[in-house]
Amino acid sequence: MVTLKDIAAEAGVSVMTVSRVVNGQFSKVSESNIKKIQSIIEKRGYVPSLSARSLSSHASRIIAVILQGDASAMEYPYNAVLVGQICYMIQDNNYSPMLYYANDYKDITRRLRSWYVEGAVFLGMFDSNLRQIQADNQIPLVFIDSYSSVRQITNVGIDDYKGGELAARYLIEKGHHRVAFVGGYSQVSGVVRQRLNGFRHALEQEGFPLTEECILSDVPEAEVLKKLCHGSEPVTAFFAPADVNALQLIGQLDGLGLRVPEDCSVIGFDDLFFAQYTSPSLTTIRQDIHRKAQIAVDLLFRHIGDPGAPAENITLDVQLVERSSVCDLHEKR
């Protein structure tokens, strides 16, 4: 392995001079030495040891991307796109992304410390431990989709509440008065809760309050679904707070012989790439995942560059994308 020392010896200078060239501090080295050293570096294929650099400077140029959950987290296209974009931009900034799956927040601290990690991006539901995570790790942290009550937090999210409202208003506009909410995690995930709140609130405002039995914590079993869609006051439309839920729901309805949107309408959330290809193509609330990633990484590097930068909580807008999974009941008559 080629080291600074080797290059220094061959060039007949001290390691400090070589170190300066490697680090681009050209104003501190004579022109002739720069040339000579650069050519030796090139010739010998010198690659700086980042462990050594990290140890002596206490800066690793590593960013942790922390994903709540297990391997299945990346099968969710929303996370995949986000993580992919974030990691790419980290690399683009000449840092290295490390991917961590975490369930226990204590693991996080351990991992961040062990590598002198310089910053971290969090995806997932860390809300309840957020204050502790911040207290334990005095490095720039950026959260995505957090609804923690902690004020001093740098977060990028979307207007989930508005998304819920948009879905409700659209369904009502299309003549749906008895609707249901189908999606998990509303107890734990602030995101889902907000989408539900916005949905529920708009429905109330329009005079069609959401009853408790129409809030389903997950895509329901056939029995439950059947009862909902058939009774005397059948549900005519569903809001799924994620396109993947919408997809599963459509599959489930299909199994019961209920066609979407003829017999039953469905509206999703996210506008993942497959939404335009499903059957029927999915009417959904669109969010800009790439933009989210972009902003998260920008914020992170701003804070790395300026540790005194103020906490920022950025909320991106959402919009409804009309496709064909919602039936217009007015036209139907």
Partner DNA sequence: CTGAAAGCGCTTACAG
Q: Does 110 bind a second copy (CB under 8 A)?
A: yes
Residues 240-269 that bind a second copy (CB under 8 A): 247-248, 250-251
> Do residues 54 and 12 make contact, with C-beta atoms less than 8 angstroms apart?
no
**C-alpha atoms less than 13 angstroms from C-alpha of 237 in its C-beta half-sphere:** 31
Cβ closer to DNA: 19 or 129?
A: 19
Total number of residues that touch a second copy (CB under 8 A): 52
Q: Does 190 bind a second copy (CB under 8 A)?
A: no
- Single out the residue of 274, 309, 322, 328 in contact with a second copy (rule: CB under 8 A): 274
Number of other CB atoms surrounding residue 178 within 10 Å: 16
Q: Does 60 bind a second copy (CB under 8 A)?
A: yes
What is the rounded distance in angstroms from the CA atom of residue 66 to the CA atom of residue 321?
Answer: 30
Chain centroid to CA 275: how far? 18
Cβ closer to a second copy: 80 or 311?
A: 80
- Specify the amino acid at residue 148: S
What is the rounded distance in angstroms from the CA atom of residue 148 to the CA atom of residue 124?
Answer: 12
Q: Supply the angle between the helices 243-255 and 222-230 in degrees, to the nearest 10.
A: 80
> Do residues 35 and 90 make contact, with C-beta atoms less than 8 angstroms apart?
no
Question: Of a second copy, DNA, none, which one sits near residue 171, judging by CB under 5 to 8 A according to partner kind?
Answer: none
Cβ closer to DNA: 8 or 123?
A: 8
> Do residues 237 and 260 make contact, with C-beta atoms less than 8 angstroms apart?
no
What residues make contact with DNA under the rule CB under 7 A?
Answer: 1, 3-5, 13-17, 19-20, 22-23, 27-33, 46-49, 52-53, 55-59
- Single out the residue of 93, 111, 256, 295 in contact with a second copy (rule: CB under 8 A): 111
Across the beta sheet with 215-216, the strand order is 215-216, 179-182, 237-239, 265-270, 283-286, 319-321
Q: Does 100 bind a second copy (CB under 8 A)?
A: yes
Question: Of a second copy, DNA, none, which one sits near residue 232, judging by CB under 5 to 8 A according to partner kind?
Answer: none
Q: Does 222 bind a second copy (CB under 8 A)?
A: no
Judged by CB under 8 A, which stretch of 123-131, 169-177, 210-218, 270-278 contacts a second copy? 270-278
Question: Of a second copy, DNA, none, which one sits near residue 5, judging by CB under 5 to 8 A according to partner kind?
Answer: DNA
Question: Of DNA, a second copy, none, which one sits near residue 111, judging by CB under 5 to 8 A according to partner kind?
Answer: a second copy
What lies within 8 Å, CB to CB, of 217 at 6+ separation is 183, 184, 185, 186, 187
Question: Of a second copy, DNA, none, which one sits near residue 71, judging by CB under 5 to 8 A according to partner kind?
Answer: a second copy
Q: Does 211 bind a second copy (CB under 8 A)?
A: no
> Do residues 322 and 297 make contact, with C-beta atoms less than 8 angstroms apart?
no
What lies within 8 Å, CB to CB, of 44 at 6+ separation is 2, 6, 7, 10
Cβ closer to DNA: 5 or 332?
A: 5
Q: What angle do CA 188, 193, 198 make, to 5 degrees?
A: 175
DSSP letter (8 states) at residue 274 = G
Tokens of 317: 């807008």
Cβ closer to DNA: 213 or 306?
A: 306
CB of 97 to a second copy, least distance (A): 5
- Single out the residue of 25, 30, 39, 49 in contact with a second copy (rule: CB under 8 A): 49
Tokens of 116: 């002198």
Q: Which residues bind a second copy (CB under 8 A)?
A: 1, 47-52, 54-55, 60, 62, 70-75, 77, 80-81, 83-85, 87-89, 91, 96-101, 109-111, 113-116, 247-248, 250-251, 273-274, 276-281
